[in-house]
């Protein structure tokens, strides 16, 4: 799986399939490896699926700084830009849903459709 350098950290990501881009954002402490193969197989029939390890998880860098939702949304935006994707469907679960919402607020031009699962608008 490739690595991209965004905002002083390396993010581990993967892409599969063809079609409109669909960015998957995993929840708290979960890496992209947690997206089940069965789900990825179904989604790649219709989409170019992009998933990644949030900072601090999986094979991405684990800086010793405080992680914030806006920071992680900017990571996702940087990944989309690196891949040359102008607009993507974005699916976030749990904390990934909070990141997805922040991505839509901070970088609305990148988000075609927002899909949220098992999440909230955040908190303190």
What is the set of domains in the chain, with CATH numbers?
3-117 (3.40.50.1820)
Cβ contacts of residue 97 below 8 Å, gap of 6+?
25, 27, 116, 117, 118, 119, 120
Per-residue confidence at 124, pLDDT binned at 50, 70, 90? low
Q: Is the pLDDT confidence value at 48 over 90?
A: yes
Instruction: Write down the pTM of the prediction.
Output: 0.96
Q: What is the mean pLDDT of residues 1-30?
A: 95
Tell me how far apart the alpha carbons of residues 54 and 77 are, in angstroms, rounded to a whole number: 12
């Amino acid at each position: 799986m490739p690595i991209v350098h965004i905002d002083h950290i390396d993010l581990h990501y993967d892409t599969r399939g063809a079609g409109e881009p669909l960015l998957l954002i995993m929840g708290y402490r979960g890496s992209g490896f947690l997206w089940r193969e069965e789900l990825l197989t179904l989604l790649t029939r219709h989409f170019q699926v992009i998933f990644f390890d949030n900072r601090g998880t999986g094979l991405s860098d684990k800086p010793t700084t405080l992680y914030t939702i806006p920071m992680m949304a900017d990571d996702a935006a940087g990944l989309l830009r690196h891949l040359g994707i102008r607009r993507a469907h974005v699916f976030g679960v749990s904390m990934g849903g909070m990141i997805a919402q922040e991505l839509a607020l901070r970088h609305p031009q990148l988000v075609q459709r927002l899909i949220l699962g098992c999440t909230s608008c955040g908190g303190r």
